[in-house]
Structure formats: C-alpha cells, structure tokens
Amino acid sequence: MDPLFDFTGKVALVTGGSRGLGRAMALALAERGADLIVASRKQEACDAVADEARALGRKALAIACHAGRWDQIEALVDRAYADFGRVDILINNAGMSPIAPSSAATEERLIDSVLALNFKGPFRLSALIGSRMAAGDGGTIINISSLGALRPTPEIAAYAGAKAALNALTIAHAAEFAPKVRVNALLPGSFRTDVAAHWPADKEANTPAFLGRFGEPEEIVTAALYLASPHSGFTTGSIIRVDGGRP
C-alpha cells in the first residue's frame, strides 16, 4: 500500500456513489483500504458498488437515500454510525444539473430540486457528520462542486448558483469544524460519465479546455485521494479545479 494513500481502517461515506465520479472515488478508497458506505437513490445500484468493495476485502454498506431530503439524510447518518461507529471521510458527490431554456421559463419546483440536492443536502449531511467528527477523532469532508460555479452560463444558472453556494459552505464549514476536520471542494469540468452520453455530439470537440477533451472518471481520483489523505493535513477551505484547464 502506498503510504501516502493508505486508508486502512478508515470509513468513507460517498453520496451519489453508485455511478460516475462517485463510484470512481468510492472504489479508489476501497482499493486502498477504506471500508465503504455507498449512498444513492437506487438500492440495487448501491448494492453493486458495495459488492465490488466487499470483493476487495472491505466492509461495505449500501443505503438507498435521496441526498436532498433531510429525513433520509438523518436516517443515513444514524445507520452509518450504528454499523461502523464513525465516518472518517465524507464525499458529498450527489447532484443534478438540469438544463433550462431560460430563467423566465424555469419552474419553482426545479429550483427547489436543484438547491435541495446540490446545496441543502450537503449542508445537512456535513453538519451532522462534521459536528461528530469535530467532537471525536476528526476527519475530512470533500464537496464535489462544479466548474459551473465559477463559469456560469444561462442554461445552468440554477445549478451554478447552487454549486457556488456549496463553495461558500465549504469555507464556512472549514472554519466551523476546525481544527480536527478539514473541508475542501473539488470543481470538476466535463467528464466522460453516463451523464455525458446525453450531451450534444460535438460538445467534446468544441471544448475550450486546454487539454482539448473530456476527463475520464479515474482522473478525479488522485485529487480526491489527496484531500482524503492525512498527508494533505494543511489543506482546508480550498476550492480545487479539475477541469482540463478551462479558461
């Protein structure tokens, strides 16, 4: 095991952990020794990732949870602590990024859904787990934000605003839960996940990213491992872009 990325004996909870970037980060932690709690809306999808973690010799718990609903978040936290006794690494990855035709045509229920999943949910989950970390042996929280928070466009105005709020929350919680808990955010650009299959066919060819392509899910892994590792112990309240060099 690489001593920089050895998570043996640690417990990681990843929301939206059944696919895409969440799955890549969850399994990367399991491959390096962490026991795993996988949460997303579909139980079957969570079970599949938990089975992969168990095949690596890890303990794993799969929990169906809508990460934008506080009652389900509280049940998730209660179950995680009942089964494992603690959470050392929390990755707030669950999110949604719907496209709107215009601000005037955006419905209130869409705004509510976007804010709930991208901001209110991480707020509550970090509050519940971060306060327990701060009262105990500490830990690290990684919020998966978006480049859209820094480069907003009209069609994703609601999503960009929610992720900008998540960036602000990252800094606020870094201050609130210090010094035992570190809180940071990753800002992915365009990655080749299942979501990308619904994007326009020429989107990648026209990307302004310096690298001229989309990222692969595994290319966010090292950034997440860095923030999860105690070897990044002097990094907190940071907003780190992983976007291929977007101008």
Q: Would 132 be classed as within a structural domain?
A: yes
The enclosing H or E element of 60 equals: strand 60-64
d(CA 246, CA 35): 34
Q: Would 43 be classed as within a structural domain?
A: yes
Per-residue pLDDT of the chain (247 residues; tens, 9 = 90+): 788 999 999 999 999 999 999 999 999 999 999 999 999 999 999 999 999 999 999 999 999 999 999 999 999 999 999 999 999 999 999 999 999 999 999 999 999 999 999 999 999 999 999 999 999 999 999 999 999 999 999 999 999 999 999 999 999 999 999 999 999 999 999 999 888 777 888 999 999 999 999 999 999 999 999 999 999 999 999 999 999 999 9
- What SS3 state is found at 137? coil
Q: What is the CATH number of the domain that holds 155?
A: 3.40.50.720
pLDDT of 212 reads: 96
- Amino acid letter, 30: A
In 124-140, which positions are buried (b, 16+ CB within 10 angstroms) versus exposed (e)?
Answer: bbbbbbbebbbeeebbb
Identify the DSSP state of 210. Answer: T
Is the full-model pTM beyond 0.85? yes
- Orientation of helix 221-228 relative to helix 20-31, angle to 10°: 50
Residues 6+ apart with CB under 8 A from 106: 100, 157, 158
In 76-112, which positions are buried (b, 16+ CB within 10 angstroms) versus exposed (e)?
Answer: bbeebeeebeebbbbbbbbbbbeebeeeeebeeeebe
pLDDT of 118 reads: 98
pLDDT of 188 reads: 97
Q: Which residues are known to be catalytic?
A: 159
- Amino acid letter, 57: G
Residues 6+ apart with CB under 8 A from 35: 10, 11, 12, 53, 58, 59, 60, 84
- Amino acid letter, 16: G
User: Do 96 and 113 form a contact (C-beta atoms < 8 A)?
Assistant: yes
Q: Would 231 be classed as within a structural domain?
A: yes
d(CA 29, CA 224): 9
User: Do 225 and 5 form a contact (C-beta atoms < 8 A)?
Assistant: yes
Q: Would 245 be classed as within a structural domain?
A: no
Residue 52: give the domain boundaries.
3-240
Using omega within 30 degrees of 0 as the cis cutoff, is the peptide bond preceding 179 cis? Answer: yes
User: Do 168 and 179 form a contact (C-beta atoms < 8 A)?
Assistant: no
pLDDT of 18 reads: 97
Q: Would 246 be classed as within a structural domain?
A: no
61 to 37, 64, 75: CA distances (angstroms): 5, 10, 13
pLDDT of 78 reads: 98
Identify the DSSP state of 100. Answer: -
Looking at the structure of the chain, the number of domains it has is 1
